[in-house]
A and B are shown apart, each in its own frame.
Chain A
Amino acid sequence: GIQVEQSPPDLILQEGANSTLRCNFSDSVNNLQWFHQNPWGQLINLFYIPSGTKQNGRLSATTVATERYSLLYISSSQTTDSGVYFCAAILETSGSRLTFGEGTQLTVNP
């Protein structure tokens, strides 16, 4: 199945800083999503982005499918951005199996 790797595993920022999180995947994918896990464990959808670039407020994401990676950008970070960021991928021909990376733990300090 697909392998998904995220980096860095941990990231500590001061409020207002920008950051880039990376997700590498081992095969061509039909579906690539980014999630934010809040302190209560809830997984929040951020982006569905198998290719191209999307933006939502201070967050944006870019997936370069031909090179098998995706990037999540967080600008002007806030303390509420803290938590774990996951990417997850599916290759539909492999049976809808949704595979997660290990996540990036982001801590934004005031």
Chain B
Amino acid sequence: DGGITQSPKYLFRKEGQNVTLSCEQNLNHDAMYWYRQDPGQGLRLIYYSQIVNDFQKGDIAEGYSVSREKKESFPLTVTSAQKNPTAFYLCASRQPGTGPTFAFFGQGTRLTVV
């Protein structure tokens, strides 16, 4: 089945450690996105990529890094520089264009830093 997969579902890390969240899609989409959601809040854009080997900062990129070496993969690294990394992280993909182009989301990763 086509879809977008995030792993792991739950992740616990000690303060000061870097951690990488996985996002894989087999929808052949060019664009991929990472969002952060805090309890009771909306989705804030961290990074997005329109095409392989290219990505742009979103609204809250500080303390995060990404890579886009393959079309199907867009991993997010939460670095020790991120001051409050505990949150729900959502990855999405879509095919850019002006026709009907749904964005599809993974099931999310809940990161807890202790």
Interface residues of A (CB under 8 A from B): 30-31, 33, 35, 40-43, 45, 48, 86, 88, 92, 95-103, 105
B50 touches A48 (CB 8 A): no
For the complex, is B101 an interface residue (Cβ under 8 Å from A)? yes
A48 touches B102 (CB 8 A): yes
A31 touches B43 (CB 8 A): no
Q: Count contacts between A and B, CB distance < 8 Å.
A: 60
Interface residues of B (CB under 8 A from A): 31, 33, 35, 37, 40-45, 48, 50, 56, 58, 88, 90, 92, 94, 96-98, 100-105, 107-108, 110
A98 touches B103 (CB 8 A): yes
B45 touches A98 (CB 8 A): yes
Residues of B within 8 A of A102 (CB): 41-42
User: CA separation between A48 and B41, bound complex, in Å?
Assistant: 23
A42 touches B108 (CB 8 A): yes
User: CA separation between A51 and B41, bound complex, in Å?
Assistant: 27
User: CA separation between A30 and B58, bound complex, in Å?
Assistant: 19
Of the listed residues A30, A98, A99, A105, the one surrounded by the most CB atoms of chain B closer than 10 A to its CB is: A98
Residues of A within 8 A of B31 (CB): 96
Q: Find the A residue at minimum CB distance from B110.
A: A41
User: CA separation between A40 and B103, bound complex, in Å?
Assistant: 19
B56 touches A45 (CB 8 A): no
B96 touches A88 (CB 8 A): no
Residues of B within 8 A of A92 (CB): 96-98
Q: Find the B residue at minimum CB distance from A47.
A: B102
Residues of B within 8 A of A31 (CB): 98, 101
User: CA separation between A88 and B105, bound complex, in Å?
Assistant: 13
B45 touches A88 (CB 8 A): no
A95 touches B56 (CB 8 A): yes
Task: Tell me the minimal C-beta distance from A82 to chain B in angstroms.
Answer: 14
